Structure 1
Amino acid sequence: MWISKIELTNFKSYRHADFNFPEPEGEKNIVLVGGINGYGKTSILEALYLCLYGKDAIVHLARAGLKTDEFKGYPSFLERAFNGEARRASEDLMSVRVVVQKTKTKGIDILRRWYFRTSTGAWQEDEAVVRETTRGVPGMPKTDGKNNFLLSEMLDDNFVPAHVAPFFFFDGEEVKKLADQNRIEQVKQGLEGLLGVVLLRNLAERLKGFEGYKRSGIANVDDQNIDRMLEALTADEAKLKALRLDAEQSKKKLDDLKAERNSYFERITAAGGGGGDIATVKDLVEEREQLRNAQRDVQKSLERILADKLPFHLMPRTLLQEFRTQLQREVALTEWQAECRALQPKRAKFENAFLGAATPAISPQLTEEQVVAIKGRIETAWASLFHPPPANCAETITHSYLHESLRDRALSFLDSIDVGQQEVLDLLNQQRELTSRIEELNRKISRVEGIDRDGTLAELKKNLSRVTADIDAMETHIKDDEREVIGLEVTVNNTRSRYQQESKRRDETSPVRQLLNKSERVRAVVEEVIPALFPLKVKALSEAMTRVYKQLAHKTQVARIVIDGDGTAHILSKTNKEIGFDRSAGENQIFATALIAGLAEVSKVKAPLVVDTPLGRLDSKHRANILNFWIGNANRQVILLSQDEEIDAEFYKRIKKNVSATFLLEHEDVGDGLGRTTVVPNKYFGGAA
């Protein structure tokens, strides 16, 4: 894989320039582009990033060592990159084209264009058009971001993913900067790039900004009050669930106690305890049980009248009627509002259809003032369909604590609260009659005599009395549970109604809350995942760095480099003892260069290297080692953007057999403080190549 072409049009100091690079063959895998500082070497590296990665290039340009601090983002960078001569000539187009050959016959041709306003030179938009080529014949064009095509996905699969690009396309100054850091920071920074941590952190920052923007538009809702209501509702529902469970378990225990009581009846009868008398006792007890059940039902009816209906009869009738009327009018108002909301979206459709109709033609054509007047009349006419509201609608919502279904339930309840004096008197009479009959049965049961000849019957009767007492206590407990359940159900229903109303208002005024919660959860996952990623690659990186370091360093006693999970690097001797090298500039840069090369190897991406200012601070020995490393893999294209003091004419002669192409950048002043860079192929410092 190699870059076969870079074409610049109106990019920085280039009016137009073509760089055509041959395929690496034999020993020739180096391309030299020479230029004095300020002549446009770095512009080539910037153009490569912008063409491939578009808006995302700004982040990766900074990671590759290119200075972007003076720019305030993508638009600012582009406006400064737009060629001054083109701006002076009122042109509006800047473009960069990069052709990548995957094989001799197949390639990818990427052309990114940027359009500017001719009046101000401000950036308007850009597009990237991609063609796959076969034997130089381009295929159908595909536009990035359209018809489900994404250039970033193609680069991930076929070239260099954006997050690892700084390992392949970088400024030598980045190596210097990396070398000036302590080695733990060097390794951490490299691993973060390899693992895409930069992308994750960028995602987290974008999500944080998104959350801040969305929260600014959320209406003020008392979240604490809603949380308190939810807490109270949850506690009451748990208590209600426990009471119902206790009542259910108590009824099962009651059934067991009754079965035990029947067993004592049968055993007493079998022991000869009075024959028919015992059967009479059983019948009396069962009859008393039936009467007690009926008595409980009457008591419940009285309690419901007292709790549910009687309080409303203590209210003035006019106030109750006003409440009923207001609820009916509020129901009518909410139904009318729902109808309005359902029709409102059709207004814009009607207006667009009305104003956008081509026939019948209006001649002469309406003026802007007339169009505005027509829109105003449409608005007035549309509003007249809804206002004023029907006469049976309430002017305002007084009972806002009730949503629509609760208002209907409230009206139904008001229709059911009528209770007459006779109904209460009948229930009281039934209660007195049942109480009298139960007392009579108790007296009858107490008069029944048993026979106890050897003490067995006495013991059985004692147990019978105990079980009967337990039954009475359990029935009382069940009754208490049922009474508490009734009261708690009312409380839970009221709390749930208020909570649902407030939650609905919060959701209606802030439809993005759920989205914000998801965003916060994603950010939390990102923060948790990042530290766990490092151990995934440290072993492979250690091995790759060891191989590269041995090729680059003067010293031969280094056996291996070991990297811990936290990024700490250990340089070990052949006896596994850590070597404490001095932190000279050359040693540190060799370590940093080995790190970048190791990261590129571990990424498994087979891509060319493009290096600006490649040999900045190295001495002649290290410089030769690095060049030997670059030419060591003859299949990898290496494009070096060098100034005259790095790879000078003399050094060029030493590596000429490995150079496949040379270019020399020349510069001229074209007035108004503008400069123009021209590219001279087959030429380098010191004369013709």
Structure 2
Amino acid sequence: MIFKELVLQNFGPYANRHVINLNPEINENTRPIILFGGMNGGGKTTLMDAIRLALYGQRAHCSTRGNLGYSEFLTQAVNNQASPIEQTRIELAFEHIINDQWKEFRIVRSWTKNPKDGKDNLGILDTDWPDPALSNTWDEYIETILPLGISNLFLFDGEQVKELAEQDTPPQAVIEAIQSLLGLELAERLSIDLDILASRKRKALASASQLSNLEEIEARLKQYKQEKELAQAALGTLQQQLKEAQKNYQEAADKFRTEGGRIAAQRSQLESKLDELAKATDNQRQEMCNLASDLLPLGLITTLLKRAKLQAEIEAKILQAKVARDVIQQRDDRLLKYLDKLSLTSKQLEKIKLFLQEENHSLNPELEFNKKPWLCIDEEGIKQLDNLLEHQLPMQIDLASKQIERLKQLEEELDSTERQLAVAASPEDYQKLDQLVKEAQKELIKCQAAYEAGKHKYEEVTKAIDKIKKELEKYSEQAIDRANDEHIIKSVTKVQKTLQLFRERLTLKKLNKLEGEVTECFRYLLHKSDLVHRVAIDTNNFSLSLYDLQGLPVPKHRLSAGEKQLLAIAFLWGLARVSGRNLPVAIDTPLGRLDSSHRSNLVERYFPTASHQVILLSTDTEIGKVEVEQLREQGAIAREYLLKYDSQKRQTVVKTGYFY
């Protein structure tokens, strides 16, 4: 299948008529990518909706439909500039192989602001000729080409990839697509058909009272099934509300934290601590003042004190020398008087005097070369000065250093506490932040309770359905005794068990192939090829599990946000490959939160090989200048379009070319 052309007329923001060539061939050379560029709100998703609407009509899962009825949705989709009688029109031309030959079809859907009978007008052109029979059976025919159940594997958007990446189990739409792809819905449909057959046989064979009982049981079963559908829908809505409440609570908690809520909650403690630190700082300064009033200032003249000590020691020696000289001089005088009595010659006396003078001179050199003492410190003063320099002053300086360091620490802690108080929210702001958190928490608890109640109701209805089915089985065994029809009814149970076994084995077989494809795709897209060796898929809920080369589980939280997106894309890619259908792929907002390396892998490896035709709808920040140049160099782009949105007119115009 190849999309050839898309025509939009007065659809969404596309006023008037726009003809878009989607042919991936240029001069008989196939280039798979059709690239659309547009800013957010510029009409990219509308293009995807147009393709879905053209293919599936009222069954289409369009982004803006929500809970609207089909008539309301068609009215909403009309361009706001179109007149009430002006026609809105979507045409999708595609080629498909029939009997080994390419055949072209054109789907035409048209309506006005007030569609007749609440529907569009559908026309199918088979090679330029209308085919009314095909128009009447189009819903069945398109299921043979691109079934609605698996369309999400080929027509998907970044939000779908994001949801698939963040959830542990795939969304319900993807699960249904997997079941349709694996052929599991055939077994389920056959099981339901067998239930219907058994029910008809019971009605045909039962008596009037038995028939009444059967009809009553089946009526209850039908009612419970309807209640189950309603409960399932309500559960989906409650789950969405719960997610929104969780998101709001997280945002409120983050805001409470970042804007100083937690600090404000401890404000009294911080203020008390600030007072204590201020008092400790003042006490420390007072201790330093007391220290400075003692001997510490003498540390400034340590050098002068050492010189004074030296001078005092020299003067003490001089004083000692003078005392010694006087004692010796008196002794010499007595000696000379005694020698005079001995009748020595004058020459001998002169020699003795000269000897004594030389001896005295050698004993008192300090007296010859030092000046007169001026410091005049006694011996006790010298001892005190020595004690000051050697012990008291060093101790005071060391103590002062420690007190300075302690004061510095107190001042830093005081400054840090003041900064914390400065950034803390005021009491009024704190109350507002706290109130927001409490309200969000209250809403979260309310949503959790509602979700649990809805889940409980769904489970109760499911149990009731199972119980009624058992009643039907028991009733058939006791009330119906005709051999052939009893055989049929009993056989239904056996066939259903066989179908269940068949379904389980088919699931294992198909999932083994799917696991191989997903693993290959993920490893091909992932730049860290040694991170994951195998991807396993759960047979019950189709959740993904990762394993490394040693066969050990790789927790999903180890993957970055970009790697999770690549895993989701690999999952969708693997499903598309397993389907065996040669179908186009359309991707809205394809790159999401990918970093540069993952983005490069996706641009280089996925887009050019995802299918024979790949329609990309991107903003300028996703497929930017680097990425588009890379695709051009690969020769992968067939056509480029730019969706120019006029915010004043609220209209989009399709132009040839891209942002760059």
Structure whose residues are more often helix by fraction:
2
Instruction: Kindly name which structure, 1 or 2, has the bigger radius of gyration based on alpha carbons.
Output: 2
Q: With the length of structure 1 as denominator, give the TM-score of the two structures.
A: 0.46
